[in-house]
Amino acid sequence: MPTKLLLNNEHIPGINTLQVYRNNGGYASVEKALKQMTPEAIVEEVKISGLRGRGGAGFPTGMKWSFLAKPAGVPRYLVCNADESEPGTFKDRYLMEKIPHLLVEGMITSSYALGCNTAYIYIRGEYFYVSRILENAIAEAYAAGYLGSNILGTGYNLNLYVQVGGGAYICGEETALLESLEGKRGNPRIKPPFPAIAGLYGCPTVVNNVETIAAVVPIVNNGGEAYSKIGIGKSTGTKLISASGHINKPGVYEIELGIPVEEFIYSDSYCGGIRNGKQLKAVVAGGSSVPVLPTELILKTAAGQPRLMSYESLSEGGFQTGTMLGSGGFIVMDEDTSIVKNLYTFTRFYHHESCGQCSPCREGTGWMEKIMHKILDGHGTLKDVDLLWDIQSKIEGKTICPLGEAAAWPVAAAIRHFRHEFEAYVMQPSSIKDVKHYYRLNNIEPIPA
Amino acid sequence: MPKVTIDGFSIDVPEGTTILQASRILATEGKMPDAHVPPAMCYYTKLKTSGGYCRTCIVKVSKGSEKDPRPMPKPVPSCRQTVMDGMEVQNLTAPDLLEARAGVVEFLLINHPLDCPICDQAGECHLQDLSYENGNAGTRYEFARRTFDMIDIGDKIKLHMNRCILCYRCVKTAEQITDGRVHGVISRGDHAEISTYIEQAIDNDFSGNVIDVCPVGALTDRTFRFKSRVWFTKPMDAHRKCDKCCGKTAVWLSGNDVLRVTARKDKFGEVEDWICNECRYDKKQIGDWTIEGPRKIERHSVISQNHYESLRQLKVDISNQKKLLEVAHVADIKQN
């Protein structure tokens, strides 16, 4: 039985209410943290646990917390990033919908550790019904004395607010999120200064993903030491993976970091194999912006080692032969999938979501979408494939925020690993209904080794 | 005082100076040829929080600082990156950076209409200079360019959104030097556009300055539109007594007609002092102004053709250029 720390109580009916949640050990971390621990001790525990940011970048959370500036007389803020907009990722929604109190509990404990008296949950507009669930949970927590002034008689005050965003992908970027939270246009800020120095309303701010904050609860309950024993190497603990695509059992799975990718795809306790008995073709391992990998590279690294679900193993080999764990949006594609069509969808998405602040991303994403559209219409040329490659290389690393890279990486990876498919679309546009057809027509192996 | 080296030219600058400012100081003091100053389309010294958007001023930092000599992994925007002691910056000396910058120029141009022959900004357009100096010939873009309708912002300013490169300078100007902001960006991505609140006129004594800060022909002066090409006009330094602004302007003459009035701009295209709308739009008689003399125009500009302020000045210019060439030569030898 794999260890579950976040979703272990998800099956209990009524777990979204405070009463049931508390009967199953809920809010123990608040009691423990506020009554027995100092804020510094909690930060230390989080450091020991080796918890890494679950939003995508994988930055050590304890380190991020210790960077928080603490000038006297200036308020500090904790902001929970629930603007989960990465295509293929839906773990936070699941968590908030099923066990909203876990997030509220994590927010209280984390705010105490950081010395914040005001905390925000910034949730994306499309999750409007989830915001209702959260608001109910927060109201219950206020009534039970876990929020408000003088929490549990310890003299600690905390106000927690839910703010619904407009549903823009860019507002998942932490500085754009802060701008949006301040009521401005959701454009990313230029860093430095980082939010830990000047964030929300110019005050020191920590922005953490929903899952990261929820993971603080088991860390405080069981200690950082116990948490760090789960997982592998520097990838400690458990991770929620949103599995989607052509698999038998799509859904949210809590895994111990370090299980083999092959096991995750084919084991019955997880994805349960490819549906309709098809072959695996490619996997996008961490949400739409991370590089896509073909079967032979996702199951085994270039060195022949089995690839594991961990930050290190997935990124082994750099972007030449590796990818990233990202936010855990695990998109599986079977042999019938056209990577070119898939890439068109991604480029259309990034074109639609670019904020328009800096030029490479604003103009480049639209250009890439137009070229992809041209190729799919059967008017592409081989030059267009090279042009796509050139455009993505001109966007990557030249933008203010990581959205530019997020738009460039999928294009780069699709061309790097599936160039033959683009060429197929370009060379024989009239005869191709789908890519598999092209393979059969030309008597070649579906996935070249 | 941190010491920074840009393309082999070193200078000590105060703490908190950006790379761009440091290179401008070098160029102003004559220690470095102007060509080594990174081009800036969105940064404007007088406007707070401007810069960082257009990405044309990116430079390569080959040595972070004396303490941490690692190079920076990505190109950095020189207008926002402050210098650290011992920092080494490459601009013209890094071929990969020039290619990256050419990419940015290409991005800026794919949706630009390139209607320079009918654009009033032609001849003093920063985008023209930028693409000529840093871009590639020709374009690889073959799709329809995005288009917008032209908007009149009041009776004096024309917004030609097709030409806009979204540098946000006018937004910052409207925010910072005029009170009551009615001017901003709507929509997202490549359909973002500068707009006023339901085409409301900007009604403010200093609103005309958005024309001066615009690096392209997106915001033009309706009292000057289609009157003349700028290189057919004679720019003169002039002043008048004005109780709203400094009154020091450049007037652009054709014969004895004042075709337009702008603020005085330095060689990096930034205004020296804001001027008020009264000076800009209403004082169009030669008698309104005290003419000081011909305005010095940089020799690389098309406006300077046939404008010799004096023969002596021409000689000074040429000897300066010779001197700089020698300096550049010495720096090259030092580097190799």
Cα gap B298→B74, rounded to integer Å: 33
Confidence of residue A449 (pLDDT cuts 50, 70, 90): very low
CB contact under 8 A, A362 and B187: no
Neighbour count for residue A260 (Cβ, 10 Å): 17
Give the nearest partner residue to A397 out of B53, B74, B191, using CB atoms: B74
CB contact under 8 A, A351 and B77: no
Per-residue confidence (pLDDT) for residue A167, from 0 to 100: 87
Mean pLDDT in chain B? 88
Per-residue confidence (pLDDT) for residue A152, from 0 to 100: 93
CB contact under 8 A, B54 and A365: no
Interval A148-198: pLDDT, tens? 999 999 999 999 999 999 889 999 999 999 999 999 889 999 988 899 999
CA distances from A111 to A83, A118, A142 (A): 19, 8, 15
Do the Cβ atoms of B151 and B159 come closer than 8 Å?
yes
Q: What residues pair up with A251 in beta bridges, in sequence order?
A: A243
CB contact under 8 A, A366 and B190: yes
Q: What residues pair up with A284 in beta bridges, in sequence order?
A: A292, A331
Interface test with A, best of B188, B194, B197, B216 (most A CBs within 10 A): B188
Q: Between A and B, how many residue pairs show a Cβ–Cβ distance under 8 A?
A: 91
Query: One-letter amino acid identity for A283?
Result: V
Taking the Cβ of residue A356 and every Cβ of chain B, the question of whether any pair is shorter than 8 Å is answered with yes
Do the Cβ atoms of B115 and B163 come closer than 8 Å?
yes
> Which has the closest alpha carbon to A411: A426, A386, A389?
A389
Interval B90-122: pLDDT, tens? 999 999 999 999 999 999 999 999 999 999 999
> Which has the closest alpha carbon to A313: A263, A274, A257, A358?
A257
What is the DSSP annotation of B99-148?
HHHHHHHHHHHHTS---GGG-TTTTS-HHHHHHHHHS-SS----SPPP--
Per-residue confidence (pLDDT) for residue A342, from 0 to 100: 92
CB contact under 8 A, A398 and B75: yes
Give the nearest partner residue to A190 out of B52, B73, B111, using CB atoms: B52
CB contact under 8 A, A359 and B108: yes
Per-residue confidence (pLDDT) for residue A429, from 0 to 100: 72
CA distances from B236 to B243, B282, B301 (A): 21, 17, 16
Tokens of A248: 């038998």
Tokens of A6: 């976040």
Tokens of A414: 């699709």
* List of chain B residues with pLDDT < 50: none
> Which has the closest alpha carbon to B115: B259, B216, B243?
B216
What does the radius of gyration of chain A's CA atoms come to, in whole angstroms?
23
| Phi, psi for A209 (deg, rounded to 5) | -70, 160
Interval B36-70: pLDDT, tens? 999 999 999 999 889 899 999 999 999 999 999 99
Q: Which of residues 163-182 of A touch B (CB under 8 A)?
A: 168, 170
Chain B: closest CA distance from residue A367 (Å) = 8
Interval B206-225: pLDDT, tens? 888 999 999 999 999 999 99
Domain architecture of chain B: domains with CATH = 3-97 (3.10.20.30), 109-224 (3.30.70.20), 227-305 (no CATH)
Taking the Cβ of residue B53 and every Cβ of chain A, the question of whether any pair is shorter than 8 Å is answered with yes
CB contact under 8 A, B103 and A360: yes
Tokens of B143: 């799709």
Q: What is the pTM of this model?
A: 0.91
